[in-house]
């Protein structure tokens, strides 16, 4: 077992539930204390109802009713409930319905053959058929599953591969690995999430290799640049609060806070920075300033640092790649003294935006200068991180690997 296998062999509590990853619907929270949607109020006589009576209510549009019935039918395990549960999962993707079907065995496989051969069942429904076939333990289901391994829909392919592995054929892992190395974004994400469900060394080897390929791009960021993404671990944080605390707690003579978010800070968060860093003079650069005015503010902050006082610049300043570019400012002025500087690039949306700044520091700085890149990524859909990348991050169990991931994430912007 390689280093990644050793690192990833531990707990899995951070993984999202399989119901979320495969598109199944997890049970909703049922209010306690006799609320209007509690199952005790909705189905007060459920314990006295027969399987047939319960099955008639599976068509309810109220998920609380459906889920309660599905769980009850799963406890009863009566043969008459099998097909109603199949239809409930096929139509709604209810996780309790799928759980209730576990244990019907070969009888479930025979009942599913007609559904699998029905050409009107495509996309998500066919993927749900694969989920149900995975529960059968019947080798006779293998031909049906194998036919779906090359389906045009990546969701169907992923669920067919999961079913194949559940039925004892590890070729499902190899097929998922093909999608994992493809250029299809959805296929890669679904393949990764399906492999994450499997507690198999073969599946782990595929995810390890995929992660290794991803973080290899971290080498594109120079070792002198520190890359952090505080919201990735705690989305409730406010990035501007993190920046203020980072500046206030350090002892650099000159700190330059630039980047897309920093421009907003200079207009909407001035008071926050001024009050949050009371032991420094704070200068600001705004969009309304011409580049020469912004440069003048940076140089004024630098001049103050050269005279032994703490200074911070926040906001918009010309990039070293702009026209006109930011001039060489990381040096002591005539008659001044050397100082310690820090460059903070906040939430760059392109790799080149951060790259031009750190090259300026590495090539031009005549004073000790630290480089920090703060990424604003948090969760998929709310920031510039894909679901696949978020899944990869959840797999990483050491600070070293998570640091490499953030550097690779920046390199991919």
Residue 375: closest CA among 405, 400, 399:
405
pLDDT at 9: 40
Helix (H/G/I), strand (E/B), else coil: 143? helix
Q: What is the pLDDT of residues 74-83, one digit of tens each?
A: 999 899 999 9
CA distance 85 to 40: 21
Q: What is the pLDDT of residues 265-276, one digit of tens each?
A: 999 999 999 999
The structure's pTM equals 0.79
Residue with tokens 């399906």: 194
Quote the percentage of the chain above a pLDDT of 70: 90
Work out whether the CA dihedral 314, 370, 407, 396 comes out positive or negative: negative
User: Which uninterrupted H or E stretch holds 313?
Assistant: strand 311-315
CA distance 245 to 130: 51
The C-alpha torsion from 362 through 367 and 372 to 373, rounded to 10°, is -40
| Tokens coding 267 | 């207009």
| Tokens coding 315 | 């906001």
Is there a cis peptide before residue 384, judged by omega within 30 degrees of 0? Answer: no
Phi, psi of 368 (to 5 degrees): -60, 125
The DSSP code sequence of 33-102 is SS-TT-HHHH-TTGGGS-HHHHHTTTT-S-HHHHHHHHHHHHHH--GGGHHHHHHHHHHH-BHHHHHHHT
**pLDDT value at 328 more than 70:** yes
Residue with tokens 């997890």: 26
CA distance 246 to 343: 12
Domains of the chain: 3-216 (1.25.10), 222-376 (3.40.50)
Find all residues with CB under 8 Å of 365, minimum gap 6, and list them.
Answer: 330, 331, 341
CA distance 167 to 223: 47
| CB count in 10 Å sphere of residue 282 | 22
Q: What is the pLDDT of residues 383-409, one digit of tens each?
A: 889 999 999 999 998 999 999 999 999
Q: What is the pLDDT of residues 169-212, one digit of tens each?
A: 999 999 999 999 999 999 999 999 999 999 899 999 999 999 99
**pLDDT value at 253 more than 90:** yes
| Tokens coding 54 | 């319960």
pLDDT at 118: 84
User: Which uninterrupted H or E stretch holds 391?
Assistant: helix 387-395
Q: Distance between the two ends of the chain, CA-based, in angstroms?
A: 32
CA distance 138 to 110: 9
Residue 139: closest CA among 173, 116, 162, 163:
163
258 pairs with which residues across the strands? Answer: 345
């Amino acid at each position: 077992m390689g280093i990644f296998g050793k690192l990833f062999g531990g707990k899995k509590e951070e993984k999202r539930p399989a119901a979320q990853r495969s598109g199944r619907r997890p049970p909703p929270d049922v209010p306690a204390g006799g609320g209007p949607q509690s199952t005790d109020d909705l189905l007060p006589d459920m314990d006295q109802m027969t399987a047939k009576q319960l099955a008639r209510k599976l068509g309810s549009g109220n998920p609380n009713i459906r889920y309660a019935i599905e769980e009850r039918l799963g406890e009863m395990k009566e043969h008459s409930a099998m097909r109603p549960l199949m239809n409930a999962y096929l139509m709604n993707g209810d996780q309790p319905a799928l759980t209730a079907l576990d244990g019907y065995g070969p009888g479930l496989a025979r009942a599913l053959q007609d559904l699998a051969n029905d050409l009107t069942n495509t996309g998500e429904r066919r993927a749900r058929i694969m989920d149900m076939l995975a529960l059968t333990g019947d080798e006779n289901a293998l031909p049906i599953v194998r036919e779906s391994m090359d389906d045009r829909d990546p969701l169907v392919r992923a669920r067919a591969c999961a079913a194949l592995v559940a039925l004892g054929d590890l070729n499902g892992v190899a097929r998922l690995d093909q999608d994992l190395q493809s250029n299809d974004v959805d296929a890669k994400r679904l393949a990764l999430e399906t492999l994450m469900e499997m507690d198999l060394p073969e599946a782990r080897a595929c995810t390890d290799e995929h992660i290794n390929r991803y973080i290899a791009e971290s080498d594109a960021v120079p070792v002198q640049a520190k890359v952090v993404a505080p919201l990735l671990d705690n989305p409730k944080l406010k990035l501007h609060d993190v920046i203020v605390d980072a500046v206030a707690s350090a002892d650099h003579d000159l700190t330059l806070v630039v980047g897309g978010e920093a421009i907003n800070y200079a207009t909407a968060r001035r008071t926050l920075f001024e009050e949050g860093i009371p032991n420094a003079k704070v200068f600001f650069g705004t969009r309304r300033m011409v580049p020469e005015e912004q440069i003048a503010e940076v140089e004024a902050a630098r001049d103050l640092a050269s005279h032994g006082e703490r200074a911070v610049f926040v906001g918009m300043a010309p990039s070293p790649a702009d026209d006109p570019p930011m001039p060489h400012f990381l040096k002591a002025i005539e008659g001044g003294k050397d100082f310690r500087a820090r460059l903070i690039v906040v939430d760059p949306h392109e790799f080149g935006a951060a790259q031009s700044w750190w090259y300026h520091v590495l090539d031009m700085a005549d004073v000790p200068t630290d480089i920090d890149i703060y990424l604003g990524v948090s969760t998929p859909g709310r920031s510039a991180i894909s679901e696949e990348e978020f899944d990869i991050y959840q797999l990483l169990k050491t600070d070293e690997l998570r640091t490499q991931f953030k550097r690779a994430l920046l390199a991919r912007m």
